[in-house]
């Protein structure tokens, strides 16, 4: 808080916008993190969707291969046209090759659990392929032996189909889980963004209010102090002189003005006292001068009277002397 108090007004005015910028950056980081998570989940969904599509196609081809194998075996038993039998055998082998190609494409796998399931399915398919090959090979030459191999082929096809369906069920569950994670991520992101935005607004407004008060209150007090000083009240206390910002410098300047004003008032009082003392001395001197003048005037009057008396006496003596002659 002391740092904020002593910080320049420009720095104070930038605190609220800086808080808003920080919160915007936080929101951007949240969005980026969520975007990356969603991209990863989207890739997982695409991978799972591709795996499901390939596996569904493989199961369809496996069922088609087994169906063509059944047709070829049954047609051989029923002595159907050899061309149809050869066509069914060719179709069965083509479907088996497609399944094999799909499994080779899935060989890289996607997840550890899925790799293990695909490996199990691939082993079961390999066993089926071997049995189906024996069946299809014997269809043209020995229908009875082909029928015996067909029973084993049927069992292996059923096992492979069941494993494939289980993999599809697990994939569907994983897809649903990822979709749930996506919804949860979006919901959590929305909550985080709204919370961060709300916090940003509150912090920015709070900082603006607090910083506004930190500037306006000292300014108001300083203005009031200056008003009282202009009215001649030098008893007012100047607050904030210890601050290191612009308001502190203003308060220090007002304090200097107050001290100068106090000195001027004291000088005025001293001057007034000196003037009063000079006036008193002048008045005393005037009284002394007036008294001296009165005394001199009285003395001069007495001398004049004495001189007049002497003149009168001298005249009488002169008259007497003249009378004696």
Which domains, from first to last, does the chain contain? Answer: 10-211 (1.20.1440.210)
Could you read off the pLDDT tens digit of each residue along the chain, which spans 325 residues?
555 555 566 665 666 677 777 777 877 777 777 777 777 777 777 777 788 888 889 899 999 998 998 988 888 888 888 899 899 999 999 999 999 998 888 764 444 445 788 888 889 999 999 999 999 899 888 888 888 888 888 899 999 999 888 988 888 887 777 777 777 777 877 787 777 777 777 877 777 777 777 777 777 877 887 888 788 777 778 777 777 777 777 878 877 877 788 888 788 888 888 888 888 887 887 777 777 777 777 777 777 777 676 666 666 666 666 666 5
Alpha helices, H only, the chain: 2-6, 9-77, 82-105, 112-138, 143-230, 246-324
- List, as own/partner pairs, every contact residues 248-255 make where C-beta atoms lie below 8 angstroms and the sequence separation is at least 24, other chains included: 248/6, 250/222, 251/218, 251/222, 254/222, 254/225, 254/226, 254/229
Other CB atoms within a 10 A radius of the CB of residue 215 amount to 16
Rounded CA gap, 96 and 107, in Å?
16
Q: How far is CA 89 from the centre of its chain?
A: 70
Q: What is the pLDDT of residue 250?
A: 80
**Which residues have CB under 8 Å from 134's CB, separation 6+?**
149, 153
Other CB atoms within a 10 A radius of the CB of residue 239 amount to 16
């Amino acid at each position: 808080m002391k740092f904020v108090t002593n910080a320049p007004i420009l720095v104070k005015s930038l605190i609220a916008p800086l808080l808003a910028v920080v919160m915007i950056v936080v929101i951007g980081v949240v969005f980026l993190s969520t975007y990356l998570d969603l991209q990863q989940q989207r890739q997982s969904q695409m991978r799972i969707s591709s795996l499901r599509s390939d596996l569904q196609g493989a199961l369809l081809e496996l069922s088609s291969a087994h169906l063509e194998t059944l047709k070829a075996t049954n047609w051989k038993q029923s002595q159907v046209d050899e061309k149809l039998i050869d066509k069914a055998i060719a179709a069965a082998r083509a479907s088996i090759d497609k399944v094999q190609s799909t499994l080779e494409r899935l060989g890289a796998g996607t997840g550890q659990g899925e790799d293990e399931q695909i490996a199990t399915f691939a082993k079961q398919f390999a066993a089926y392929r071997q049995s189906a090959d024996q069946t299809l090979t014997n269809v043209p030459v020995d229908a009875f032996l082909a029928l015996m191999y067909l029973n084993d082929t049927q069992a292996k096809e059923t096992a492979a189909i069941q494993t494939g369906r289980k993999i599809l069920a697990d994939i569907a569950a994983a897809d649903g889980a990822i979709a749930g994670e996506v919804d949860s991520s979006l919901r959590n992101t929305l909550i985080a963004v709204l919370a961060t935005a709300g916090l940003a607004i509150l912090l920015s407004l709070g900082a603006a209010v607090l910083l506004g008060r930190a500037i306006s209150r000292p300014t108001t007090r300083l203005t009031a102090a200056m008003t009282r000083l202009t009215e001649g009240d030098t008893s007012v206390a100047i607050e904030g002189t210890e601050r290191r910002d612009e308001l502190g410098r203003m308060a220090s300047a007002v304090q200097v003005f107050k001290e100068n004003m106090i000195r001027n008032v004291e000088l005025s009082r001293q001057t007034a006292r000196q003037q009063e003392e000079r006036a008193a001395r002048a008045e005393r001197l005037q009284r002394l001068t007036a008294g001296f003048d009165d005394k001199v005037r009285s003395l001069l009057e007495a001398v004049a009277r004495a001189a007049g008396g002497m003149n009168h006496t001298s005249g009488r003596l002169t008259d007497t002397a003249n009378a004696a002659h």
